[in-house]
Structure 1
Amino acid sequence: MVGVEVLTAVRSEGIQRRVAGGLLARGARVGDRVVVPPPDPQAGLASGTVLSAVVGALRVGVVPVVLHGGLLDEERAPLVADADPHLDLSAAALAALAQDGPPVDLAPDPLARPLHYTSGTTGRAKGVWSGVLAAPAAAALRAEEADLWAFAADDVHLVCSPLYHSAPIRFAAGTLLVGGTVVLPERFDAATVAGVLADGTTETGPATSTFCVPAHLQRLFALGGAVRAPRLRLLAHAGAPCPLPLKERTLAALPAGSVWEFYGSTEGQITACGPDEAAAHPGSVGRARPGRRLRVDDDGTIWCAVPPHARFSYWRDPGRTARAWRADRFTVGDLGRLDADGYLWLDGRRDDLVITGGVNVYPLEVEQALEGRPGIEEVAVFGVDDERWGQRVCLAYTGTAAPDEVLAHAAAHLAPHKRPKEAHRVDALPLTPTGKLRRLDLPGVLGLA
C-alpha cells in the first residue's frame, strides 16, 4: 500500500487564497498562463497543494498550464514555449507560494478551465483553451457539473488518476468547492484504493465518490475477493472503452445506483450513462448530458452541440479550431452510432480505423467480440501495412490462450474481413499513465512496422 494525503475544503481554501495572491503579486493578470509543476515530495510539493493551486489560480482568472508529469525536458520545452506563460513555476516556488503567499479573495467559481495539451492518437500536441469566463458563464459551467454529479459537503472523493488530466481535476475540484474532502494516494495502488473504498483513512470514513478508468477497475478486481464500498454513491468511469464483462462485474460488485459512465474528452463532456441505462443498453455510453445535443454524420463522425460557456479553441491554432467546429457543434474525430432513442455507441477514432481491401474495420468492434473469453484478458486490434490489402487486421492480447485459439474464436464470431490475420500474446499492452491504450505504438512494439 502507498501513503495517502487528505485534503479538506478548509485547508484547500487557504492554499488557494495564498497561491492566487502570490501569483497576482508576481504580476500575473486575468488570462495569463502559469505553468504548474507536478507534485514533488522532495521539494515539499504535495498533490493537494498542486490541486489547490490550480483551483485558486482559476478563481482569479489566471489559467494554469497543467503538463504531463512524466515529460522529458525536450518534450516539455516546446509546450511551455507554445503556452507563452507569464510564469513557469518550479516545485519549490509553488510550495513557497502555498505557504507564504499573500491571501486574496476569490471568485466563487473557477473563471476558466486549465490549459491542457492533448494530442489524441496522432499529431503534435494541441492546447485546449476555454478563455476566461464572465461570472454568469463560470457559474453555469460549475453548476452543470455539480448538478450532474451531485457533489456534496459530506463527500469523501478518492482520486485515482494523475492530476495532470482534466477529469480528475474536475471531480476533485467540484468536491472541494462544495466543502467536501479529497483523498489523494501517492500513486494508484489497487490495495490502497480498495482500503479507502472499504474503510477510509484515519481522518475520513470510506470514500463516497471516485473517478477512474477501466484499467483501474481491472487492477482492483485482480486483487481477488469482494470489493467493499459501503458509502460509495458515485463511481464514474471514462477515458477508454469499458469491456462489457468488466462493466457487468463492476455493476454487480458496487452499491446499486453508484456506477456511471461518461464519454468526453479534454475538449468537452458529451454523454452520461447511469447504471439502469447501462443495463438496458449494454455497450452504450449513454445519451447527451444536459445542455448537449448529439449528431452523427453519414461517415460516423460524432458531433456535439454545447452551450456557450463550454466552447473551446485550440490555443493559437485557428486551422485546427475551424476543423473541429461546425457552428455550435464540435468533434474530436471519434466515430459512433446513435439509436432512435439517442443512445450513443462508440466505434473508435478515425485515426484507429483499419482499412483492409477498401473496407473499414473498427478495432473496438473486434475487441468487444474477444474480451472476456476464456484465456483472453485484454485485447488491442490494430492495422499493419500490407501490399495486397492496404492494411491487415492484427491483434495483441494478454492471457493464457494460445494465438491459434484466439484466431479460431475470432473466426467463429466475426465476418471474414474483420478477422485478425495475426494474434500476438504480450505480457502487457502499452498504456498511457491514465490507462488509455497506445494502439498506434503496437506495430513498432511488436516489430511489425
Structure 2
Amino acid sequence: MLVLAESDPLSFLRGFLAALSTGTPLLLANPQWQSQEWQQLAAILPQNFMAWGTVPPLDPQGSGERLPQGWILIPTGGTQGRLRWAIHTVATLQAARMGLQSHLQQLTIHCLSILPLYHVSGLMPVLRSLWSGGELYLARHLRDLRQTTPPANLDLWLSLVPRQLQQVLTEPLPWLGKLRGIFIGGGPTWSQLLEEAATQRLPLCLTYGMTETAGMICAQRQGEFLAGDRSCGQVLPHAQIDLTPTGEIQIQAASLALGYYPEFFDSAIFPTDDRAQWRGDRLYILGRSSRKIISGGENIYPEELEALLLDSGLIQDIYIYGAADPLWGEQVIALYVGDASPEELNTWLKQQCSAYKCPKQWIRVPQIPRTPQGKVSLVTLADGYGQRE
C-alpha cells in the first residue's frame, strides 16, 4: 500500500498515477493531520506500507495481508468522529465520472480544481478531466486564482464549498461568471448566499453527494440555478435515492464504496443521516439527523472533541455543537465547565487534532444542563445558547 500525503498538486498526481499504473493500493491522507489523526491511521495501516509525501514515522498495527490491486482508500469522518477510509476502486470512481457525463450530456469535461486532492471533492474533478480527455487546471487555493491570469479555456467546471463561494461573492472574480458551471457541495448553503450568487449571475449547480458515493449523485444542470431552481437537481443515472418514512436518504449507486477499510458494507443500500424531500423529480436537502457539523466543507464530530477534552483533565464537563455562520456554513461552539481559559483549551486541542475541528467560540458556563439520565437537555440549551435541535 502507498500512503499518499502530498500537498503539492503535481506531486500528488505523480504519486496517484504511478500507483494506478502499477495497481498499487492507495491510501489518501491529509498532510496537515496532527497526532490524533495519524494514530487512527496507524491503527489500520498494513505492515508493508510505503509513504509518499509528508508522512510522519508510524507504528502500523494493521494486518500484513496485501490489499487487492486498484483499491483507493479515501478518508472521511465516521461514527464518533473517528476517521474512516472509504474503499473505492477504479470501477466505482469511473462509474461516478460516467454518470456525471451522461447527466450533463458532455463527453469531455474540462475542470478547474482548487480543492484538496485527498478529498473526494478535489480528486473527482481531476479524474473527470483525465478520464474524459478534458483539460485540467490545478491550483492549491482560491487565492491562487486571484494571483494568476484566467485559464485560456473558460469552458470549465469548478467545484467550490460554501465558504469559498462566500469569499468569491465578497471579492468577485469576474471571469468565474463565464465558466461552464460551478458545482456547490460539501455542506449547507444558506439562502442569502444563493441569492447573492444569482444576483452576480454565477453559473452555480447545486449538488448532493459524499465520499462514500465518490462525489455527487444528484446535481443541477447548467442554467437551472439561474432559472430559479434551488434544489440539488435530479439523481444521476448511476444512482438511486430513496427516502425513509422519516425522510432520511438511502442510496444505491454503482459508485458506492465497498465499505470502510478493513470492513465491507453489509448491504448494497447505504443509509445516511441526511434528511430530504422530493418535489417532483428534484431533491431538496432539509438537514441532518445526527450531531455532525459541516464547517467550511469539513465534517466535524462533536463526540470526538468532547472525548479528547474530557480526557485532558482541563475541564469537568463539555458540550459542543454547531451554529449557523454566514462564512463557514456552521461554526463550532463549545460550552464547558472548568477553570481553564479558552486560549489554553484552544492551544491544547490544536496539538491533538486538525485546526479546522477546533471551536470558534469557547463559552465557560456554571454547568451543562442534563437530564437525570445524564443526557444534555437540548431544550434548555436552545433557550440559553441557540443550540439547534
Q: What band does the TM-score fall into relative to the shorter chain?
A: 0.5 to 0.7
Distance in 2 between residues matched to 1:148 and 1:59, nearest whole Å:
28
Structure 2 equivalent of residue 265 of structure 1: 210
Partner SS state of residue 81, structure 2: coil
Matches within 5 A, 1:60-99: 60-84=22-46, 86-91=48-53
Partner SS state of residue 176, structure 2: coil
Structure 1 equivalent of residue 116 of structure 2: 162
The AA in structure 1 aligned to 2:260 is Y
Which has the higher Rg, Structure 1 or Structure 2? Answer: 1
- 2:264 corresponds to 1:310: no
2:235 to 254, 275, 288: 288
1:118 to 69, 76, 83: 76
Structure 1 equivalent of residue 378 of structure 2: none
Q: CA deviation at 1:338?
A: 2.2
Per-residue CA deviation, residues 356-401 of structure 1 (Å, 9 max, x unaligned), is xxxxxxx99xxxxxxxxxxxxxxxxx9xxxxxxxx999946569xx
Distance in 1 between residues matched to 2:46 and 2:99, nearest whole Å:
31
Distance in 2 between residues matched to 1:305 and 1:244, nearest whole Å:
29
1:34·1:62 contact (CA, 8 Å) conserved in 2? yes
Q: CA deviation at 1:164?
A: 1.4
- 2:136 corresponds to 1:188: no
Distance in 2 between residues matched to 1:315 and 1:212, nearest whole Å:
28
Structure 2 equivalent of residue 402 of structure 1: none
The AA in structure 2 aligned to 1:65 is L
Matches within 5 A, 1:156-235: 157-189=111-143, 192-194=144-146, 199-200=149-150, 204-206=152-154, 208-223=156-171, 227-229=174-176, 231-235=178-182
Structure (1 or 2) with the greater strand fraction:
2
Structure 2 equivalent of residue 351 of structure 1: 290
2:102 to 147, 155, 162: 147
Compared CA separation, residues 295 and 58, structure 1 to 2 (3 A)? same
The AA in structure 1 aligned to 2:176 is A
Partner SS state of residue 445, structure 1: strand
Distance in 1 between residues matched to 2:103 and 2:284, nearest whole Å:
21
Partner SS state of residue 352, structure 1: coil
Q: CA deviation at 1:212?
A: 0.9
Partner SS state of residue 251, structure 2: strand
Which sections of structure 2, spanning at least 5 residues, go unmatched? Answer: 56-68, 295-301, 303-318, 328-345, 347-355, 369-389
Matches within 5 A, 1:359-370: none
Partner SS state of residue 78, structure 1: helix
2:114·2:142 contact (CA, 8 Å) conserved in 1? yes
Structure 2 equivalent of residue 329 of structure 1: 269
The AA in structure 1 aligned to 2:256 is A
Distance in 2 between residues matched to 1:253 and 1:265, nearest whole Å:
28
Identity %: 19
1:261·1:272 contact (CA, 8 Å) conserved in 2? yes
2:247·2:276 contact (CA, 8 Å) conserved in 1? yes
1:66·1:116 contact (CA, 8 Å) conserved in 2? yes
1:151·1:174 contact (CA, 8 Å) conserved in 2? no
Q: CA deviation at 1:351?
A: 1.4
Compared CA separation, residues 80 and 149, structure 1 to 2 (3 A)? farther
Compared CA separation, residues 148 and 313, structure 1 to 2 (3 A)? same
The AA in structure 2 aligned to 1:193 is L
Structure 1 equivalent of residue 200 of structure 2: 253
Q: CA deviation at 1:298?
A: 1.5
Distance in 2 between residues matched to 1:150 and 1:72, nearest whole Å:
42
Structure 1 equivalent of residue 363 of structure 2: 446
Distance in 2 between residues matched to 1:62 and 1:393, nearest whole Å:
40
Distance in 2 between residues matched to 1:209 and 1:392, nearest whole Å:
36
1:50 to 12, 24, 27: 12
Q: CA deviation at 1:303?
A: 0.5
The AA in structure 1 aligned to 2:38 is R
Structure 2 equivalent of residue 107 of structure 1: none
Compared CA separation, residues 263 and 443, structure 1 to 2 (3 A)? same
Compared CA separation, residues 289 and 143, structure 1 to 2 (3 A)? closer
Name the Cα RMSD after superposition: 4.1
Distance in 2 between residues matched to 1:233 and 1:91, nearest whole Å:
33
Partner SS state of residue 169, structure 1: helix
Larger RCO of the pair (alpha carbons < 8 Å, separation 6+): 2
Per-residue CA deviation, residues 279-311 of structure 1 (Å, 9 max, x unaligned), is 67754222211122221112221102223x534
The AA in structure 2 aligned to 1:312 is L
Partner SS state of residue 218, structure 1: helix
Q: CA deviation at 1:166?
A: 0.7
Q: CA deviation at 1:175?
A: 0.9
Q: CA deviation at 1:330?
A: 1.0
Partner SS state of residue 267, structure 1: helix
Which sections of structure 1, spanning at least 5 residues, go unmatched? Answer: 1-32, 40-45, 94-110, 354-362, 365-381, 383-390, 400-429, 431-436
Structure (1 or 2) with the greater helix fraction:
1
Q: CA deviation at 1:83?
A: 3.6
Compared CA separation, residues 159 and 252, structure 1 to 2 (3 A)? same
The AA in structure 2 aligned to 1:317 is E
- 2:338 corresponds to 1:338: no
1:126·1:315 contact (CA, 8 Å) conserved in 2? yes
Partner SS state of residue 207, structure 2: strand
1:260·1:274 contact (CA, 8 Å) conserved in 2? yes
